[in-house]
Amino acid sequence: MAHIIDYRLAHTLAEDVAELSDLAESARVTRLPPSASREDLVGRVVRFLPADALRSERIAVVHTGQARDDERSFFGPTSNDLLDLGVADIMVSSACASGVEALSLANDLVDSGTFDRAIVIAVSSSSRGDWVSFSGVGALASGDVRPLDERSTGVVLGTVAGAVLVAADPAPMSLEIVGTGSRVTGSGAASIARDQLAVMRQAAEQLAPDVVVAHATGTVQGDREELDAIAELTKDDGKHAVRVVSQKGALGHTVQAAGIAAVIGVAEAVRRGRMLGSFGLGRPIPSAGEVVLPLEGESFAVDLDTIFLVNGFGFGGNNFALAVTGSGDLWKGKNS
């Protein structure tokens, strides 16, 4: 399996909200004002890649649905130029599951030896198309978004851009991808527990996840469906308790970029040694199994041995899951 060896993320969260999430400002996470343009967001995350990286290595560039046109201007080369350089220019578009699928694809491209490295880039800035899609199925919140909470009424869309660099060998501070799962049924606006459970089991094969970073967007049906699947997953390992968190309360639903933001949140939590409970969560949805839902303001210890399962589910029956854990011996106490 491959390793996530570097990352950058830019968002427009208010400072007090960011501090109650795993995406507080750091050397790799930038907080921009709400007026920041898409160009500002993408520029902050793409420019960390060395200028000669495309020419010095066999590298794949994997974009999620909204990102492709934005970051190409920062790379300079056109698609044809990239191909001439031996660089793959790949777009993934699987609705809200795109981020996790793109990371899974990057892992496969590197793990197979086809490429030395892969950079995954995602951006989401609440387009009219997203608004129409969620409004059309009655999924937009009537108030604050509260994922995994009994009071939640739906989704609030968020703004973020992220870039993740995947390589075969670990870096001093990196995450190892230890499992992937996928199931695409090609039907339905809502993902169902049976398919979610299948991809989580596939990604977590022979593993016992400690933390699930849920897709949980705040929809009444979707959050309950995912919790049911996670509760069933805990039965596979007897009495192994699993903590479940969601970024969506703080960050909002960032659609194609949601999976990238979730994995970067994991990396930041490992770097700090603690993960925070879900922002906005005060009255958890009742759940069976060994499921623990940390509340807003609560935190728990994580380390290099913690196994995280990151979920990404999308319209059209797109279901993906990614298992990661810490690797490298310089994580603790670092802010770089």
**Residues in CB range of 100: below 8 A, 6 or more apart:** 259, 262, 310, 311, 312, 320, 321, 322
> Which value, in Å, is the radius of gyration of the alpha carbons in the chain?
18
Question: How far from 181 is each of 92, 119, 203, 283, 312, CA to CA, in Å?
Answer: 16, 20, 4, 30, 10
- Tell how strand 3-11 and strand 159-167 pair up: antiparallel
pLDDT of residue 81: 47
CA distances from 163 to 62, 67, 130, 281 (A): 10, 10, 21, 28
Helix (H) or strand (E) holding 110: helix 98-111
Residue 292: how many other CB atoms lie within 10 Å: 17
Which phi and psi angles does 318 have, rounded to 5°?
Answer: -90, 115
Q: Which two tokens stand for residue 50?
A: 């060395």
Residue 178, pLDDT score: 96
What's the rounded Cα separation, in Å, for the pair 215 and 70?
A: 25
Cα–Cα nearest to 23, from 333, 250, 177: 250
Three-class secondary structure of residue 314 per DSSP: strand
- Sole residue written with tokens 């990396």: 267
Structure tokens given for 233: 């997953």
DSSP, collapsed to helix, strand or coil, labels residue 262 as: helix
Nearest alpha carbon to residue 274 among 336, 209, 332, 335: 332
Q: Show the 3-state SS of 153-219.
A: CCECECEEEEEEEEECCCCCCEEEEEEEEEEECCCCCCCCHHHHHHHHHHHCCCCCCCEEECCCCCC
CB of 327 closer than 8 Å to CB of 273: no
Model pLDDT, residue 49: 61
Question: Which bin fits 217, alpha (ψ -120 to 50), beta or left (φ > 0)?
Answer: alpha
Structure tokens at 26: 């750091």
pLDDT at 317: 84
DSSP character at residue 228: H
Write out the chain's pLDDT in tens, 336 residues.
899 999 999 998 888 899 999 999 999 999 999 888 888 888 888 776 655 555 556 888 898 875 445 455 444 444 444 444 456 678 888 878 899 999 999 999 999 999 998 989 888 876 555 544 655 455 555 567 889 999 887 767 788 999 999 999 888 888 999 999 999 987 766 678 999 999 999 999 878 899 999 999 888 888 999 999 999 999 887 667 899 999 998 988 888 899 999 999 999 999 999 999 999 999 999 987 789 999 999 999 999 999 999 999 987 789 999 999 998 665 554 544
* Cα–Cα distance, 53 to 70 (Å, whole number): 19
Backbone angles phi, psi at 269, to 5 degrees: -65, -40
How far is it, in rounded angstroms, from Cα 201 to Cα 182? 10
- Is domain 1-328 classified as CATH 3.30.565.10? no
Sign of CA dihedral 147, 152, 154, 155: negative
Pick from 316, 188, 298: nearest CA to 245:
298
Cβ distance 191 to 319 under 8 Å?
yes
What secondary structure does DSSP assign to 16-82, as a single string?
Answer: HHHTTSS----SSEEE--TT--HHHHHHHHHTTS-TTHHHHS-EEEEEETTTHHHHHHHH---HHHH
